[in-house]
Amino acid sequence: MGLLIVGSVALDTVATPFDRIDNALGGSAVYISLAASYFSGPVYMVGVVGEDFDREHIKLLEDHNIDLEGLKMVDGAKTFRWSGKYHYDLNVRDTLLTELNVLATFDPVIPEKYRKSRFVLLGNIDPTLQLKVLEQMENPSFVICDTMNFWIEGKKAELLKVLKKVQVLIINDSEARLLAQEPNLIKAARLIRAMGPEYLIIKKGEHGALLFCDNTVFSAPAYPLENIYDPTGAGDSFAGGFVGYLHKTQDIGIENLKRAVVFGSTMASFCVERFSTKGLENLTYLQVHDRFREFLKLSRVDDDD
Ligand code: AMP
């Protein structure tokens, strides 16, 4: 059975202290689907684009065995556009532009063959749309949700409804503080899990990620890269690696969730090494697995007895 992914499909304009790129392929659904495509198929992608969306981007997604029956194209309309600027500290990003375009009127229709998917990843998109997707699913057993400050601030009531229906929420540290209205991350995690999700993952950029559940906090490092080129899509690639591995193994036990967090961090590390989606375009599963092993070495330590 397929892995259902919904999110934005975007043309991004990104500036870092080192370089700049205009109208590059981006969007949460794109990064998540590309990252997940290295695990097991089929990946079902639900999203919307306008007529300005390049045929080459479609080909790239198809070449990664991403099923595009759920990708709607709207004639005479423009694709969602986003623009961001990174500071010298690449953990700090300013959003310069969010132009919803086709996303503003998007009404996702889930193709028949997608509806039985057990694993669902609700990528960063309007929570109203995330709810519409869930309403059309038959009986998903594991739903993972991503979101961002834009929606926490703008659509909190709708987001709270989504959180009641998901097993995992993935957000970054500043978003967790914003959502919980609590500066301490451990307390914030408790408050957010009380909103619905059994598991919470808090991403901390180059400082790794934390997985919270009832009685454990698991901490995974980020890969120590010397060259971080473009952090855009790191969070989505993390989500794609996380859900891709769970879907491949069909195991949602806590030990496997921890491994999935490390696979998520692995995909994020490939993503940031190049601009736009380039870092996710030409990998092999062997490369992914080798870096996963490097991750394990990063924090392995023996007891002194
Ligand atoms: P990340 O760096 O993982 O947070 O994700 C960056 C991607 O999110 C970019 O490719 C953007 O196109 C997309 N994005 C930014 N803002 C939004 C938004 N409000 N809704 C949906 N997608 C967005």
Residue 162 token pair:
């989504």
Please give the pLDDT value at position 300.
Answer: 86
Per-residue confidence (pLDDT) for residue 154, from 0 to 100: 96
pLDDT of 96: 97
Buried b vs exposed e over 152-186: b needs ≥16 C-beta within 10 Å? beebeebbebbbebbbbbbbbbbbbbbbbebeebe
* Range with the poorest average pLDDT among 84-93, 117-126, 179-188, 244-253: 84-93
pLDDT in tens, 195-212: 999 999 999 988 899 999
Q: What is the band of 9 on the pLDDT scale with cuts at 50, 70, 90?
A: very high
Atom 14 of ligand 1, nearest CA residue: 27
Give residue 28 CA to ligand 1 midpoint distance, Å. Answer: 6
How do residues 166-187 score in pLDDT, each as one tens digit? 999 999 999 999 999 999 999 9
**CB 9, CB 233: distance < 8 Å:** no
H or E element at residue 82: strand 80-86
How far apart, in whole angstroms, are the C-alpha atoms of residue 82 and residue 258? 32
Distance 159 CA to ligand 1 centre (A): 16
Residues in contact with ligand 1 (CB, 6 Å cut-off): 8, 10, 12, 26-28, 82, 98, 124-125, 150, 232-236
- Which of 6, 8, 92, 276 for a ligand 1 pocket mutation test, highest count of atoms within 8 Å of Cβ? 8
Per domain, the residue ranges of the chain are 3-298
Rounded CA-CA distance 263/256 in Å is 10
* pLDDT of residue 305 exceeding 80: no
Q: Which amino acid is at 72?
A: K
Ligand 1 centre distance from Cα of residue 258 (Å): 25
Q: Quick one: which atom of ligand 1 is closest to the CA of 82? A: 12
Contact 233, 277 (CB under 8 A): yes
Amino acid, single-letter form, for residue 64? H
For residues 130 and 155, what is the distance between their CA atoms, to the nearest angstrom? 12
- Residue 46 in contact with residue 6, Cβ under 8 Å? yes
**Ligand 1 atom closest to Cα of 93?**
2
Question: pLDDT value at position 205?
Answer: 84
How far is it, in rounded angstroms, from Cα 120 to Cα 210? 21
Strand partners, 212: 200, 217
* 80 Cα to the center of ligand 1, angstroms: 10
Ligand 1 atom at shortest distance from the alpha carbon of 239: 3
181: left (phi over 0), alpha (psi -120 to 50) or beta: left
Q: Is the pTM of this model over 0.85?
A: yes
Give the homologous superfamily in CATH for domain 3-298: Ribokinase (3.40.1190.20)
- In which band, very low, low, confident or very high, does the pLDDT at 135 lie, cut at 50, 70 and 90? very high
The whole-number average pLDDT for the span 1-26 is: 96
Distance in angstroms (rounded) separating the CA atoms of residues 51 and 55 = 10
Strand order in the sheet with 80-86: 20-26, 10-15, 80-86, 93-99
pLDDT > 70 fraction of the chain, expressed in percent and rounded: 100
Confidence of residue 145 (pLDDT cuts 50, 70, 90): very high
Q: How far is the CA of 71 from the centre of ligand 1 (A)?
A: 17
**Residue in this structure with the two tokens 């998903």, named with its chain if needed:** 140
Nearest CA to ligand 1 atom 22: 8
Beta strands in the chain (DSSP E): 3-6, 10-15, 20-26, 43-50, 66-67, 71-74, 80-86, 93-99, 119-122, 142-146, 168-172, 199-203, 209-212, 217-220
> Where does the pLDDT of residue 255 fall: very low under 50, low under 70, confident under 90, or very high at 90 and above?
very high
pLDDT for 215 equals 84
